[in-house]
Amino acid sequence: MFEKGESAARNELLLSFKSLGNANVMIQKIFNMIGQSKFFEDFTVNDVEKLTSFMHAYEVEAGTTIIREGDIDDYMLFIIEGRVNILKTDSNGERRPMTIAGPGTTLGEMSMIDGEPRFASCIALDATTFAVLSRESMVEIIMEEPSFGSKILIKLITMLSQRLRSTSSELVHYLEHSQTQAI
């Protein structure tokens, strides 16, 4: 079902972070951030507890690179506390800030699913805690709890669709603008 991303150096960064153990130790903080999260908006308390039990929590200091563009990893993460800067390298090799993500935001879901290299880098602006959902855990959820697994997958599709709509709209705007300049 998931064939790619089996590189040896996979998840290299993740192994360097301070582990807080199973994410259910953070359950109260996770409930605190849920109000800010599109991902969890139609999840029941039971769903959140179930998903959390499949996740691992980590904390990092401000300035830490959480996700490095180009890396081969196989997990996504949910920011529990702290803000994260998202940067993408442009063709001159310079890192261009794209957006800032806060508690409740999911990061890295594309690589979790498709195994392609990380598209952008994520650097902690504050001391940041986050919960990690690995591809392996996602497969476990799908096998053990297929209906809950579908709910998560549908959620991911919804979020990607929304991001694609907004990115495509921005692109149409720029194309329009650049054509206007050319006239």
Which chain residues interact with a second copy by CB under 8 A?
1-3, 42, 88, 90-92, 96, 98, 109-110, 113-114, 116, 119, 142-143, 146-147, 149-151, 153-154, 156-158, 160-165, 167-168, 170-178, 181
20 vs 159 by CB, closer to a second copy? 159
Which lies closer to a second copy via its Cβ, residue 29 or residue 50? 50
Cβ-based nearer residue to a second copy, 56 or 118: 118
Amino acid identity of residue 165, one-letter, is: R
Query: Quick check: helix, strand or coil at residue 89?
Result: strand
- Closest distance to a second copy from the beta carbon of 134 (Å): 15
Nearest distance from C-beta of residue 119 to a second copy, angstroms? 5
- CA-closest candidate to residue 132, choices 28, 44, 18, 45: 18
* CB contact at 8 A, 21 and 53: no
CA distance 114 to 80: 24
Q: What angle do CA 61, 63, 28 make, to 5 degrees?
A: 40
Q: How far is the CB of 107 from a second copy (least distance, A)?
A: 13
Kindly report the backbone phi and psi dihedral angles of residue 110, in degrees, each rounded to the nearest multiple of 5, phi listed first: -60, -50
Closer residue to a second copy, CB minimum distance, 25 or 164? 164
